[in-house]
Protein backbone atom coordinates (compact mmCIF):
# COMPACT_ATOMS: atom_id res chain seq x y z
CA UNK A 1 0.00 0.00 0.00
CA UNK A 2 1.52 3.37 -0.96
CA UNK A 3 2.15 5.89 1.76
CA UNK A 4 -0.03 8.96 1.92
CA UNK A 5 1.43 12.42 1.54
CA UNK A 6 0.69 13.04 5.21
CA UNK A 7 2.63 9.93 6.26
CA UNK A 8 5.57 10.93 4.08
CA UNK A 9 5.61 14.37 5.69
CA UNK A 10 5.36 12.89 9.18
CA UNK A 11 8.48 10.85 8.49
CA UNK A 12 10.32 13.68 6.76
CA UNK A 13 9.70 16.22 9.52
CA UNK A 14 10.37 13.75 12.36
CA UNK A 15 6.73 13.39 13.46
CA UNK A 16 5.80 16.93 14.54
CA UNK A 17 2.77 16.75 16.90
CA UNK A 18 0.67 19.22 14.91
CA UNK A 19 0.87 17.02 11.81
CA UNK A 20 -0.35 13.91 13.61
CA UNK A 21 -3.47 15.59 15.03
CA UNK A 22 -6.24 16.87 12.72
CA UNK A 23 -7.34 19.51 15.24
CA UNK A 24 -3.84 20.95 15.67
CA UNK A 25 -3.27 20.81 11.94
CA UNK A 26 -6.51 22.71 11.27
CA UNK A 27 -5.68 25.34 13.91
CA UNK A 28 -2.18 25.97 12.52
CA UNK A 29 -3.48 25.98 8.95
CA UNK A 30 -6.01 28.61 10.04
CA UNK A 31 -3.18 31.16 10.12
CA UNK A 32 -2.28 30.54 6.46
CA UNK A 33 -3.74 32.33 3.45
CA UNK A 34 -7.09 30.86 2.35
CA UNK A 35 -5.69 29.10 -0.73
CA UNK A 36 -2.96 27.50 1.39
CA UNK A 37 -5.55 26.45 3.99
CA UNK A 38 -7.58 24.77 1.26
CA UNK A 39 -4.51 22.97 -0.08
CA UNK A 40 -3.51 21.71 3.39
CA UNK A 41 -7.06 20.57 4.09
CA UNK A 42 -7.38 18.72 0.77
CA UNK A 43 -3.93 17.11 0.92
CA UNK A 44 -3.55 16.24 4.59
CA UNK A 45 -7.00 16.10 6.16
CA UNK A 46 -9.26 14.97 3.31
CA UNK A 47 -6.43 12.80 1.88
CA UNK A 48 -7.14 13.84 -1.70
CA UNK A 49 -4.85 12.15 -4.24
CA UNK A 50 -1.97 14.38 -5.34
CA UNK A 51 -2.73 13.59 -9.00
CA UNK A 52 -6.32 14.84 -8.64
CA UNK A 53 -5.22 18.05 -6.92
CA UNK A 54 -2.57 18.63 -9.58
CA UNK A 55 -5.16 18.25 -12.34
CA UNK A 56 -7.52 20.71 -10.62
CA UNK A 57 -4.75 23.26 -10.10
CA UNK A 58 -3.22 22.79 -13.54
CA UNK A 59 0.23 21.95 -12.19
CA UNK A 60 2.36 18.82 -11.86
CA UNK A 61 2.02 16.46 -8.87
CA UNK A 62 5.59 17.31 -7.95
CA UNK A 63 4.66 21.00 -7.65
CA UNK A 64 1.71 20.14 -5.40
CA UNK A 65 3.89 17.98 -3.13
CA UNK A 66 6.58 20.67 -3.01
CA UNK A 67 4.05 23.37 -2.09
CA UNK A 68 2.53 21.23 0.68
CA UNK A 69 6.01 20.40 2.00
CA UNK A 70 6.92 24.10 2.13
CA UNK A 71 3.69 24.91 3.96
CA UNK A 72 4.27 22.12 6.49
CA UNK A 73 7.85 23.29 6.95
CA UNK A 74 6.59 26.82 7.65
CA UNK A 75 3.90 25.61 10.07
CA UNK A 76 6.50 23.44 11.83
CA UNK A 77 8.83 26.36 12.56
CA UNK A 78 9.06 27.60 16.16
CA UNK A 79 8.51 31.17 14.96
CA UNK A 80 5.19 30.22 13.33
CA UNK A 81 3.95 28.34 16.39
CA UNK A 82 5.15 30.99 18.83
CA UNK A 83 3.62 33.81 16.80
CA UNK A 84 0.33 31.93 16.56
CA UNK A 85 0.25 31.59 20.36
CA UNK A 86 1.19 35.25 20.85
CA UNK A 87 -1.33 36.76 18.41
CA UNK A 88 -3.60 37.98 21.19
CA UNK A 89 -0.70 39.96 22.68
CA UNK A 90 0.42 41.70 19.49
CA UNK A 91 -0.49 45.25 18.53
CA UNK A 92 -1.98 46.09 15.12
CA UNK A 93 1.36 46.58 13.32
CA UNK A 94 2.87 43.43 14.83
CA UNK A 95 -0.23 41.43 13.89
CA UNK A 96 -0.10 42.67 10.32
CA UNK A 97 3.62 41.84 10.00
CA UNK A 98 3.09 38.40 11.54
CA UNK A 99 0.23 37.62 9.15
CA UNK A 100 2.05 38.83 6.06
CA UNK A 101 5.62 37.69 6.68
CA UNK A 102 5.42 34.76 9.11
CA UNK A 103 2.10 33.14 8.25
CA UNK A 104 1.80 33.92 4.54
CA UNK A 105 5.54 33.61 3.90
CA UNK A 106 6.10 36.85 2.02
CA UNK A 107 9.56 38.37 1.85
CA UNK A 108 10.65 41.31 4.01
CA UNK A 109 10.61 43.63 1.02
CA UNK A 110 7.16 42.57 -0.16
CA UNK A 111 5.78 42.79 3.38
CA UNK A 112 7.16 46.32 3.68
CA UNK A 113 5.68 47.32 0.31
CA UNK A 114 2.25 45.93 1.12
CA UNK A 115 2.21 47.70 4.48
CA UNK A 116 3.76 50.94 3.18
CA UNK A 117 6.56 50.87 5.74
CA UNK A 118 10.33 50.48 5.45
CA UNK A 119 12.10 47.13 5.45
CA UNK A 120 13.86 48.27 8.61
CA UNK A 121 10.50 48.77 10.31
CA UNK A 122 9.48 45.23 9.36
CA UNK A 123 12.79 43.92 10.77
CA UNK A 124 12.27 45.85 13.99
CA UNK A 125 8.71 44.54 14.39
CA UNK A 126 9.88 40.97 13.69
CA UNK A 127 12.51 41.39 16.42
CA UNK A 128 9.78 42.58 18.81
CA UNK A 129 7.65 39.55 17.95
CA UNK A 130 10.64 37.23 18.41
CA UNK A 131 11.33 38.81 21.80
CA UNK A 132 7.75 38.32 22.91
CA UNK A 133 7.72 34.73 21.65
CA UNK A 134 11.00 34.11 23.51
CA UNK A 135 9.54 35.46 26.74
CA UNK A 136 6.46 33.28 26.32
CA UNK A 137 8.62 30.22 25.62
CA UNK A 138 10.71 30.93 28.72
CA UNK A 139 7.58 31.21 30.83
CA UNK A 140 6.20 28.00 29.32
CA UNK A 141 9.41 26.15 30.15
CA UNK A 142 9.47 27.57 33.66
CA UNK A 143 5.85 26.58 34.19
CA UNK A 144 6.56 23.07 32.85
CA UNK A 145 9.54 22.66 35.18
CA UNK A 146 7.63 23.91 38.18
CA UNK A 147 4.60 21.75 37.46
CA UNK A 148 6.85 18.70 36.98
CA UNK A 149 8.37 19.37 40.38
CA UNK A 150 4.95 19.98 41.94
CA UNK A 151 5.77 23.58 42.86
CA UNK A 152 2.93 25.50 41.30
CA UNK A 153 1.58 26.72 44.61
CA UNK A 154 3.58 27.89 47.58
CA UNK A 155 4.15 25.10 50.05
CA UNK A 156 3.15 25.49 53.67
CA UNK A 157 5.60 24.34 56.28
CA UNK A 158 3.84 21.38 57.88
CA UNK A 159 6.47 20.83 60.58
CA UNK A 160 4.89 23.35 62.91
CA UNK A 161 1.74 22.50 64.79
CA UNK A 162 -1.39 24.47 63.91
CA UNK A 163 -1.55 27.60 65.95
CA UNK A 164 2.21 27.93 66.12
CA UNK A 165 3.99 31.16 65.29
CA UNK A 166 4.63 30.18 61.61
CA UNK A 167 1.04 29.24 60.82
CA UNK A 168 0.01 30.15 57.30
CA UNK A 169 3.43 31.23 56.11
CA UNK A 170 4.50 29.85 52.79
CA UNK A 171 8.04 28.84 52.13
CA UNK A 172 9.98 28.55 48.93
CA UNK A 173 10.71 25.01 47.90
CA UNK A 174 14.29 24.03 47.19
Phi, psi angle pair for 126, to nearest 5°: -60, -35
**Stretch (H or E) spanning 101:** none
Q: How high is the mean pLDDT of the chain?
A: 82
Residues 6+ apart with CB under 8 A from 6: 19, 43, 44, 47
Among 110-119, 151-160, 163-172, the range with the most confident prediction by mean pLDDT is 110-119
Whether the CB-CB separation of 22 and 40 falls below 8 Å is answered with no
Least confident of 1-10, 63-72, 76-85: 1-10
Residue-range domain boundaries for the chain: 1-76, 77-150
Q: How far apart are CA 153 and CA 172, in angstroms?
A: 10
Which DSSP string corresponds to 128-164?
HHHHHHHHHHHHHHHHHHHHHTT-SSPEE--SSPTTS
pLDDT of residue 80: 92
Residues 6+ apart with CB under 8 A from 31: 75, 80, 84, 99, 103
Select the more confidently predicted residue: 162 or 145.
Answer: 145
Amino acid sequence: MPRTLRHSLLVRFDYPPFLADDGLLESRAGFLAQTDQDLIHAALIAHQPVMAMARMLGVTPRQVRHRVERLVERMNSPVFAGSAHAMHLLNRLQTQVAKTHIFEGRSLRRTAQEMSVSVETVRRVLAEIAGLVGIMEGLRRRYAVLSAKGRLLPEVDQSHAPGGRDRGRSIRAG
